[in-house]
């Protein structure tokens, strides 16, 4: 494990302690869906997809209406979740693919949230998708996780567990270890077993689902990826299969929550649910513009739910603008764990807001990839081309959350202000950083 340089400036939030004196070191469960759109679950407006267990988390906890992934595609968002930093700072600026990038991964010099809480005595585990490096040296067990079972590619066949080029991709720790079963069910099963084994000590558990990412396969659908070939043809799927994939994931989340209750851990555990980016072909962005890979809202505004009985007031709705990188300092604070020293963190601690409703200070948020760049400051959002900051578009998200009306011509001073902000940020986060792909 990497040497972790730390300072000891963190303390458990007093409000949490007052509300629950027995939970000084709560468990943390982070559940990440893959390519789940803003409009793909019931509590965010879906009428066709039934997600009673996720909806219950929202009804009994806190639902964010303005939660954002740090990337509009998989790997960058996951780099931010692990490090609390914009993906540009880590060099993970695009998708780590099975075809071209099997030699790269999240730099071992980066400090992950698993390493941070492990230094404070937490047991750590991840079950599911990694997508931050194919080689064993980049495996989660070398990035702070005590246990790992899952796949390291961007996606695998839900039944055969082959990656996009037909290579076997199901790991136990840093060794290939084939296992029969539907990917979503396996992730749930290993999560349930981990909770039962570790109910007497604090833990951090990441459940990183593949659903509803392609290949679009239900529990009883045929294999689509073949050995040595990967996906034959284009992804096959229907709205019915997509619906089933999300509903099976929801069923598994219900099992996780029930296991926490049965183990007496429900009021000792924060559960956070989110998606890694906006939806792909079959998903719904809930009326927002764009989808996965776009820097418009549909590419990165995603569901975000915090659930903690006895601590988080049931039924709260937050319109604060927050992002995935915020989970890093939030989890560290919960665990009373030291933050990394001499490392720039972009995320902020959300605990005062989650537990008490404390308003967050205004700050700009940024996105950048090969499709475009964007900066959000309050109600205004600027979108540009990926090169030379060309063709700036300005949107008023308060009145136009779907980004239909470009008001750049009416507000040239706001365009210039946000353009300079975006340029300064991009220079800061990329200067001297080695891109890994």
Tokens of 79: 């780099």
What are the structural domains, with CATH classification, of the chain? 24-363 (3.40.720.10), 365-430 (3.30.1120.10)
Residues 239-247: what's their mean pLDDT? Answer: 98
Judged by average pLDDT, the poorest of 1-5, 99-103, 227-231, 288-292 is 1-5
The burial of 404, by beta-carbon neighbours within 10 Å (0-12 exposed, 13-18 middle, 19 or more buried), is given as exposed
Q: Looking at residue 7, what DSSP letter applies?
A: -
Largest CA distance in the chain: 60
pLDDT value, residue 23:
60
Cis peptide before 212 (omega within 30 of 0): yes
Residues 17-27: what's their mean pLDDT? Answer: 60
pLDDT band at 24 (very low <50, low <70, confident <90, very high): confident
Average pLDDT, the chain: 95
- pLDDT of residue 20 exceeding 60, the answer is no
Residues assigned a catalytic role? 74, 131
Residues 392-407: what's their mean pLDDT? Answer: 99
pLDDT band at 6 (very low <50, low <70, confident <90, very high): very low
Residues 291-296: what's their mean pLDDT? Answer: 99
CB 312 within 8 A of CB 354: yes
pTM: 0.94
Chain segment 28-87, per-residue pLDDT in tens: 999 999 999 999 999 999 999 999 999 999 999 999 999 999 999 999 999 999 999 999
- pLDDT of residue 18 exceeding 60, the answer is no
Chain segment 342-367, per-residue pLDDT in tens: 999 999 999 999 999 999 999 999 99
The whole-angstrom separation of Cα 257 and Cα 255 is 5
The whole-angstrom separation of Cα 37 and Cα 19 is 34
pLDDT value, residue 232:
83
The burial of 315, by beta-carbon neighbours within 10 Å (0-12 exposed, 13-18 middle, 19 or more buried), is given as exposed
């Amino acid at each position: 494990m990497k040497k972790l340089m730390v300072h000891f400036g963190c303390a458990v939030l007093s409000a949490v302690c007052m509300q629950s004196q027995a939970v000084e070191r709560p468990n943390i469960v982070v559940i990440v869906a893959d390519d789940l759109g803003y409009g793909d679950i019931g509590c965010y407006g879906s009428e066709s997809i039934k997600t009673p267990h996720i909806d219950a988390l929202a009804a009994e906890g806190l639902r964010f209406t303005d939660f954002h992934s740090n990337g509009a595609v998989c790997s960058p968002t996951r780099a931010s979740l692990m490090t609390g930093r914009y993906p540009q700072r880590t060099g993970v600026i695009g998708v780590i693919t099975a075809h071209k990038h099997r030699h790269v991964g999240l730099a071992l010099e980066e400090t992950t949230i698993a390493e941070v809480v492990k230094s404070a005595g937490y047991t750590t585990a991840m079950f599911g998708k990694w997508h931050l490096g194919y080689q064993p040296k980049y495996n989660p067990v070398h990035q702070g996780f005590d246990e790992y079972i899952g796949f390291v590619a961007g996606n695998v066949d839900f039944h055969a567990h082959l990656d996009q080029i037909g290579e076997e991709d199901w790991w136990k720790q840093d060794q290939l270890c084939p296992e029969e079963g539907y990917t979503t069910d396996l992730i749930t099963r290993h999560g349930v077993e981990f909770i039962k084994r570790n109910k007497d000590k604090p833990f951090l558990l990441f459940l990183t689902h593949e659903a509803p990412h392609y290949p679009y396969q239900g529990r009883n659908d045929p294999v689509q990826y073949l050995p040595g070939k990967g996906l034959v043809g284009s992804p096959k799927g229907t709205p019915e299969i997509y619906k089933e994939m999300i509903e099976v994931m929801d069923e598994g989340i219900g099992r996780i929550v029930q296991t926490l209750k049965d183990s007496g851990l429900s009021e000792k555990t924060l559960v956070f649910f989110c998606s890694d980016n906006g939806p792909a072909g079959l998903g719904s962005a809930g009326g927002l513009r764009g989808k996965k890979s776009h820097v418009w809202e549909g590419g990165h505004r995603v569901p975000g739910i915090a659930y903690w009985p006895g601590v988080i007031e049931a039924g709260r709705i937050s319109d604060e603008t927050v992002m995935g990188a915020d989970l890093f300092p939030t989890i560290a604070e919960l665990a009373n764990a030291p933050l990394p020293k001499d490392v720039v963190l972009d995320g902020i601690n959300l605990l005062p807001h989650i537990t008490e409703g404390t308003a967050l200070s205004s700050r700009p948020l940024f996105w950048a990839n090969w499709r475009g760049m964007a900066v959000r400051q309050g109600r205004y959002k600027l979108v540009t081309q990926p090169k030379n900051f060309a063709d700036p578009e300005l949107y008023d998200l308060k009145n136009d959350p779907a980004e239909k009306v470009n008001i750049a011509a009416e507000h040239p001073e706001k365009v210039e202000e946000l353009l300079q902000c975006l340029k300064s940020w991009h220079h800061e986060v990329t200067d001297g950083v080695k891109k890994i792909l």
